[in-house]
Chain A
Amino acid sequence: DAKTTQPPSMDCAEGRAANLPCNHSTISGNEYVYWYRQIHSQGPQYIIHGLKNNETNEMASLIITEDRKSSTLILPHATLRDTAVYYCIVSLSGGYQKVTFGTGTKLQVIP
């Protein structure tokens, strides 16, 4: 699986958009970008995934650059409950693959 690079931490004001970057310059053509998060003392939670096109669901939006070497997870209106560690993962398709967590980005939403 391709390696990802994320900033270790970020702050975001409550109600503002949180933009979490991820670099995955060695991604191959058939690898997807996935995002999970872990809220303190809970199990990880799937957020969203994409291949080439931008994706949006009820939780977030995923913007993937045209060369696919980086992506951004957007939480449009961050709340205090979005404070968590966010993991960007690159892997082949198929959710029955193991999830390889890195160190992630610790997002602190500030009141």
Chain B
Amino acid sequence: EAGVTQFPSHSVIEKGQTVTLRCDPISGHDNLYWYRRVMGKEIKFLLHFVKESKQDESGMPNNRFLAERTGGTYSTLKVQPAELEDSGVYFCASSGYSLLSYNEQFFGPGTRLTVL
């Protein structure tokens, strides 16, 4: 079974440009999460989708970040316009849903974003 995949693996853009990150969760997982680690800091939660709905977007830093999950499958995270402080590694995770067990989150390998 394929794991969580993310594209691209690396992205280098200039300040002010737009970048779109993509995440493909494990097939059948309704829950999809975005996290990021900026340089020297801890991994921080950004937002959580349940299917196509935003369940919790309390971690989104500002309105330059837009996440979508049309159709409840893959998700995109757009940064527009990108700023220097947006540089870091963006992780996506997915989990299933069961009332009987812990729904561990499966993480993708991350997208390393560098804003120059």
| A residues apposed to B, CB below 8 Å | 32, 34, 38, 41-46, 49, 93-96, 98-103
Total cross-chain contacts (CB, 8 A)? 59
Residue of A nearest to B6 (CB): A43
Inter-chain pairs besides A32-B102, A42-B109, A98-B45, 4 sampled, C-beta below 8 Å:
A96-B50, A98-B48, A99-B35, A103-B42
Residue of B nearest to A87 (CB): B43
- What would be 27 A-B contacts, judged by CB atoms less than 8 Å apart? A38-B43, A41-B109, A42-B110, A43-B4, A43-B108, A43-B110, A44-B43, A44-B93, A44-B105, A45-B107, A46-B104, A46-B105, A46-B106, A49-B104, A93-B102, A95-B31, A95-B102, A95-B103, A95-B104, A96-B95, A96-B97, A98-B33, A98-B48, A98-B59, A99-B33, A99-B43, A101-B42
Q: What's the nearest-Cβ distance from chain B to residue A5, in Å?
A: 14
> Which of A34, A41, A98 has the most chain B CB atoms closer than 10 A to its own CB?
A98
Give Cα A96–Cα B30 distance, bound, in whole angstroms: 10
The contact string, 1 if C-beta is below 8 Å from chain A, for chain B 24-60, is 0000000101010000001111001010000110010
Number of residues of chain B lying within 8 A (CB) of chain A: 27
